[in-house]
Amino acid sequence: MSNKLKGKSGEDLAADFLLNGGFKILERNFRYSRCSEIDIIAKKDDILYFIEVKYRTSDAFGFPLEAITKSKLEKIKAGASYYLSNTKEKFKSYRISAVSILGSKINFIENILF
Cβ-contact 60, 75 below 8 angstroms: no
Q: Is 3 helix (H, G, I), strand (E, B) or coil?
A: helix
How many angstroms separate the most distant Cα atoms in the chain? 43
* pLDDT number for residue 28: 96
pLDDT of residue 10: 82
To the nearest whole percent, how much of the chain has pLDDT over 70? 93
Name the average pLDDT for the chain: 89
pLDDT digits (tens, 9 = 90+) for 61-80: 888 888 899 999 999 999 99
Provide the 3-class DSSP secondary structure of residue 2: coil
Maximum mean pLDDT: which of 12-16, 86-90, 91-95: 12-16
The structure's pTM equals 0.91
CA angle 20, 12, 64 (to 5 degrees): 100
DSSP 46: T
Give the C-alpha separation, 104 to 92, whole Å. Answer: 33
Most confident range (mean pLDDT) of 40-44, 61-65, 87-91 is: 40-44
Mean pLDDT for 1-15 is 77
Q: What pLDDT is recorded for position 53?
A: 95
- In the three-class reduction of DSSP (H, G, I as helix; E, B as strand; rest coil), residue 26 is classed as strand
Helical ranges in the chain per DSSP H: 3-20, 70-86
Q: Tell me the sheet residues that pair with 54.
A: 100
